[in-house]
């Protein structure tokens, strides 16, 4: 590898600031991606090549036979308020395709990202 390749080949990370948003959104859009809750920018050399975003997520199980829509709304209201009280500005709610809750999420203001959630335990 050449010295230039090494200098441009290693990712650098720096915090994402509000003034970075317009540029980041344009770069991601040109590459066919959206920008959701960016926390850090990724650089190769001086070029932004990506971002990392942190979105706290809520995992929910509600009994399909004993929990109705009103109960679901109460549970959502609780976890949204708890997350907001702890400083969250955006949250994620993974929801499987056959969940009775799924049709209500867009009506409650949630955007379908089309993403599948993968989990990794970091407690090595």
Closest residue by Cα to residue 62 from 53, 71, 52, 54: 71
- Segment 95-122 mean pLDDT: 88
- Give the global pTM: 0.71
Q: How far apart are CA 51 and CA 29, in angstroms?
A: 13
Q: What is the residue-averaged pLDDT of the chain? A: 90
Over range 106-113, report the average pLDDT. 91
Q: Look at residue 2 in the predicted model and tell me its pLDDT.
A: 45
Output 91-94 pairs: Cβ under 8 A, ≥24 positions apart. Answer: 91/55, 91/56, 91/57, 91/58, 92/55, 92/56, 92/57, 92/58, 92/117, 93/57, 93/58, 93/60, 94/57, 94/59
Residue 115 has pLDDT above 80, yes or no: yes
11-68 tens-digit pLDDT = 999 999 999 999 999 999 999 999 999 999 999 999 999 999 999 999 999 999 999 8
Query: Is a pLDDT exceeding 60 seen at residue 97?
Result: yes
Q: Is the pLDDT of residue 8 over 80?
A: no
């Amino acid at each position: 590898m050449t010295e230039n390749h090494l200098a441009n080949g290693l990712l650098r990370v720096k915090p994402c600031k509000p003034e970075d948003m317009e540029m980041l959104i344009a770069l991601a859009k040109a590459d066919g991606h959206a920008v959701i809750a960016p926390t850090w920018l990724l650089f190769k050399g001086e070029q932004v090549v990506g971002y990392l975003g942190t979105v706290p997520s809520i995992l929910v199980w509600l009994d399909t036979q004993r929990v109705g829509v009103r109960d679901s709304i109460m549970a959502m209201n609780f976890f949204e308020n708890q997350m907001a009280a702890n400083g969250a500005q955006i949250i994620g709610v993974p929801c499987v395709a056959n969940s009775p809750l799924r049709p209500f999420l867009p009506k409650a203001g949630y955007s379908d990202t089309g993403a599948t959630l993968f989990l990794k335990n970091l407690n090595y």
